[in-house]
């Protein structure tokens, strides 16, 4: 186990099996998370950063193990009086949420062995045979993926497209983060455009890779969503480094971080608010999507991009962003001499979006319910901060299940049902899906079937579970119909 992203990555590079242990993770830990086999945190819960990213990557993760006492300076971790140092072995069980001392041998599930590792013959696995029966569903299952590899795994598991490609990860990797930071520090639109131009080729390449894996399956691509301060370093040393790299005074970096600080970043300058105030960001992202689509289509592979605008609460927000997407799509099609099919739609993830879904559907060609944020705003409950009271809340039976794991049907579900009705009223048959992590939870999948959604989307390694749940939902519906007929 290692307590720091850099040391975790270094150990993995030397061939060690690495468990990354942190109080909590942030985007700055991404490198260490990629290198690690598993992730263990002292804080957070089912929908904290560590859990989301690990699930997305198909890694084992235990979050919120409050008994861990981590001493970053001493590079040790103490649990129940026993102290572990970096390099020591620990094992974790992500399903049970348990941590064991020492190394426990593990094996991939038979489904993974058959479909991903290809180390097991399909006919020899009963588990695989059972799973593959799950074919008769009305709800289709898509995946949340932002790399070609994740896409390939999900397709192997039976996903029929990408329901959520979070493009923010495309601003982080390697040199891109430098250009992103340059953009954030820029004082003029011109300077921001120059910085964005450096990111464009990387994002285009990412999309090319994913479109190729999808072979014509649809890809819902969400434009930049998180607040900009998430892309800047927060400690003094890293800020000084960045200032040096950018050739600006350290004070300027500090000042910008301070300016971007928010009291409640979840409710702040993020989502389409960014793309509206800095339309050059949406322009660059549109160009990356459509140039990639043109390239792949010209190579003879079908493409079906669906551009998704996040955090829309007002129709006019969507109108403004849709104008940018259509304009750039038109430019690219003219430049490349191709005709591209694409949709533009929105996430419904703030209550106002659901309440005014009839207006929004005048512009939106699809809705995708972002049930993570919709739960946070509908309940007034932060996924990252609810750990302090959700325990007592479950004991007192105020909530039956963690609302970030299983959809709160009477609250959040009511907003979804309302938006489905209103959306269909304005645009009959509007495409409807869900892309929060609830898409991988069986109870929530069954709710989605009843609500009349057409697909759920979840991280690649949850696709098999979601497909089973979709099949079960179908069986339950048939049984219910039969009962009614009697």
φ/ψ (deg, to 5) at 110: -60, -35
The reply on whether position 415 binds a second copy by CB under 8 A is: yes
Q: For a second copy, how many residues bind (rule: CB under 8 A)?
A: 50
Is 268 an interacting residue with respect to a second copy (CB under 8 A)? yes
* Residue 110 or 408 having the CB closest to a second copy: 408
- Our answer to whether residue 49 is catalytic in this structure is yes
| Catalytic residue (choose from 63, 435, 448, 458) | 435
Residues in region 338-367 near a second copy by CB under 8 A? 349-352, 355-356, 359
- Could you give the residue ranges of the DSSP H alpha helices within 337-434? 351-355, 357-360, 371-379, 387-395, 412-426
Nearer to a second copy, 281 or 470 (CB): 281
Which DSSP category does 439 fall into? G
76 lies in the site for a second copy, by CB under 8 A: no
Please return the burial class of 433, using the count of CB atoms within 10 Å of its CB with bins 0-12, 13-18 and 19+: buried
The single residue among 266, 301, 333, 405 that binds a second copy, judged by CB under 8 A, is: 266
Binding mask 380-409 for a second copy (x = CB under 8 A): xxx-xxx-xx--xx--xxxx--------x-
Pairwise CA distance, residues 434 & 449, whole Å: 11
Helix (H, G, I), strand (E, B) or coil at 325: helix
Q: Does 188 bind a second copy (CB under 8 A)?
A: no
- Give the number of C-alpha atoms closer than 13 A to the C-alpha of residue 145, restricted to the C-beta side: 31
First to last CA, the chain: 60
Task: Kindly state whether residue 173 participates in binding a second copy, applying the rule CB under 8 A.
Answer: no
In the complex with a second copy, which residue's Cβ is closer, 295 or 349? 349
Over the window 35 to 54, marking each residue x when it contacts a second copy by CB under 8 A and - when it does not, the resulting string is --------------------
Binding mask 225-254 for a second copy (x = CB under 8 A): ------------------------------
Residue 27 interacts with a second copy (CB under 8 A): yes or no: no
Q: Is 75 in the site for a second copy (CB under 8 A)?
A: no
DSSP one-letter string for 74-138? TTEEEETTEEEETT--EEEETTTTEEEES-------HHHHHHTS--S-GGG-HHHHHHHTTT--S
| Residues forming beta bridges with residue 22, ordered by sequence position | 41
Does residue 276 interact with a second copy by CB under 8 A?
yes
Q: Which residues contact 404 (CB under 8 A, 6 or more apart)?
A: 45, 46, 47, 372, 375, 383, 386, 437
- Side-by-side strand order, sheet with 60-62: 19-22, 38-41, 60-62
Least Å distance between CB 378 and a second copy?
5
Asked whether the CA dihedral 455, 457, 460, 461 is positive or negative, the reply is: negative
Q: Which residues bind a second copy (CB under 8 A)?
A: 262-269, 271, 273, 276-277, 311, 313-314, 316-317, 320, 349-352, 355-356, 359, 373, 376-382, 384-386, 388-389, 392-393, 396-399, 408, 410-412, 414-415
Q: Which residues are catalytic?
A: 49, 435
């Amino acid at each position: 186990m290692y307590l720091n992203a850099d040391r975790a990555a270094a150990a993995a590079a030397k061939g060690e099996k690495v468990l990354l242990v942190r109080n909590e993770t942030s985007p700055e830990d991404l490198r260490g998370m990629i290198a690690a086999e598993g992730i263990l945190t002292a804080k957070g819960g089912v929908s904290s950063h560590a859990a989301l990213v690990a699930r997305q990557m198909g890694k084992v993760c235990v979050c919120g193990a409050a008994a861990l006492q981590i001493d970053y300076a001493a590079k040790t971790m103490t649990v129940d009086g026993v102290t572990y140092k970096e390099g020591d072995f620990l094992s974790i069980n992500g399903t049970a949420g348990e941590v064991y001392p020492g190394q426990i041998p593990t094996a991939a599930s038979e489904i993974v062995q058959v479909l991903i590792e290809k180390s097991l013959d399909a006919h020899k696995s009963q588990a695989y045979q059972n799973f593959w029966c799950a074919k008769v569903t009305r709800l289709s299952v898509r995946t949340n993926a932002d790399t070609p590899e994740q896409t390939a795994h999900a397709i192997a598991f039976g996903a029929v497209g990408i329901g959520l490609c979070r493009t923010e990860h495309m601003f982080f990797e390697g040199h891109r983060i430098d250009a992103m930071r340059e953009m954030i520090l820029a004082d003029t639109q011109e300077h921001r455009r120059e910085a964005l131009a450096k990111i464009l080729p990387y994002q285009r390449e990412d999309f090319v890779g994913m479109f190729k894996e999808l072979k014509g399956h649809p890809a819902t691509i969400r434009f930049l969503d998180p607040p900009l301060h998430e892309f800047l370093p927060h400690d003094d040393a890293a800020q000084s480094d960045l200032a040096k790299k950018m050739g600006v005074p350290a004070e300027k970096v500090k000042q910008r971080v301070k300016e971007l600080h928010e009291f409640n970043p979840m409710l702040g300058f993020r989502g389409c608010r960014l793309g509206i105030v800095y339309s050059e960001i949406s322009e660059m992202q549109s160009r990356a999507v459509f140039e990639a689509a043109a390239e792949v289509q010209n190579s003879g592979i079908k493409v079906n991009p669906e551009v998704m605008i996040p955090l829309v609460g007002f129709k006019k927000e969507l109108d403004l962003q849709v104008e940018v997407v259509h304009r750039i799509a038109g430019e690219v099609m003219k430049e490349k001499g191709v005709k591209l099919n694409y949709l533009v739609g929105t996430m419904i993830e703030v209550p106002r979006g659901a309440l005014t879904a009839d207006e929004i559907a005048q512009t939106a060609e699809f809705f995708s319910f972002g049930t993570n944020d919709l739960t946070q705003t509908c309940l007034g409950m932060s996924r990252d901060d609810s750990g302090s009271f959700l325990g007592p809340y479950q004991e007192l039976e105020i909530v039956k299940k963690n609302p970030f794991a299983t959809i709160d049907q009477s609250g959040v579900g009511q907003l979804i049902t309302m938006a489905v009705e209103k959306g269909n009223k304005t645009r009959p048959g509007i495409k409807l899906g869900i892309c929060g992590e609830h898409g991988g939870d069986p109870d929530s999948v069954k709710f989605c079937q009843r609500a009349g959604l057409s697909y759920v989307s979840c991280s690649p390694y949850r696709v098999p579970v979601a497909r089973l749940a979709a099949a079960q939902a179908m069986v339950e519906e048939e049984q219910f119909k039969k009962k009614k007929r009697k």
